[in-house]
Structure 1
């Protein structure tokens, strides 16, 4: 299938597929007229790449995964999963802090121990010190 059709099936713009090809993470076949020809396998691979990109996995890591074999692949996947888990924890802490600041009764955030704890450590205080 042509690049525009493949892009529509995958849910990305065609220029993204070209970029992935330039970066060496997706290699479609070429027709006699040197046009990209995406098979069902290429579409499947592109969907996986798209999901990994949505999860924040960079193209260099995806390129490593494609060429990794044996024990290297699980190590790379575990490292990517660990990074995503850490990012999810940071995002959850930031969301908790923002929810707290909506209810915080202190006029200046520095006056609130919970706000100060988050600013210092990036983690909301474990104990609820501000009555809101």
Structure 2
């Protein structure tokens, strides 16, 4: 099946300019017809779906391009680095939740009066 950019964009739930941007950035390869219009075959559509999924899980466009590298080791390195960054973010978010939950339950009127809040505040 072959589709034009508008139909692909609608199917993916994104704007056509996003697909053009991905192509300009090198994350997506789309062939052109005789009139110069982008033509998305099944392979290009799957590639676009992959780019979209990688973007939605937090990879930047340069990371997406690297993650789609034909060299598996290069792709894995990018993905492993992103996993590490996401795991670190999870830890920081959990610490933020713990701090905020404590402030809700804290018996002190002001956070400055609470030794536990002061400990949280000194943590990086």
Corresponding residue for 2:61? 59
Corresponding residue for 2:34? 32
Count of matched residue positions in the alignment of Structure 1 and Structure 2: 122
Kindly report the root-mean-square deviation, in angstroms, between the aligned alpha carbons of the 2 structures: 1.8
Give 1:74 deviation, angstroms. Answer: 2.1
| TM, length-normalised to structure 1 | 0.79
Which protein is richer in helix relative to its size? 2
Runs of 4+ in structure 1 off by over 4 angstroms are none
**Counterpart Cα distance in 2 of 1:91 and 1:68:** 34
Which runs of no fewer than 5 residues in structure 2 stay unpaired?
Answer: none
8 Å contact 1:10–1:43 — kept in the other structure? no
Corresponding residue for 1:105? 107
Task: Name the SS for the 1:26 alignment partner.
Answer: coil
8 Å contact 1:7–1:14 — kept in the other structure? yes
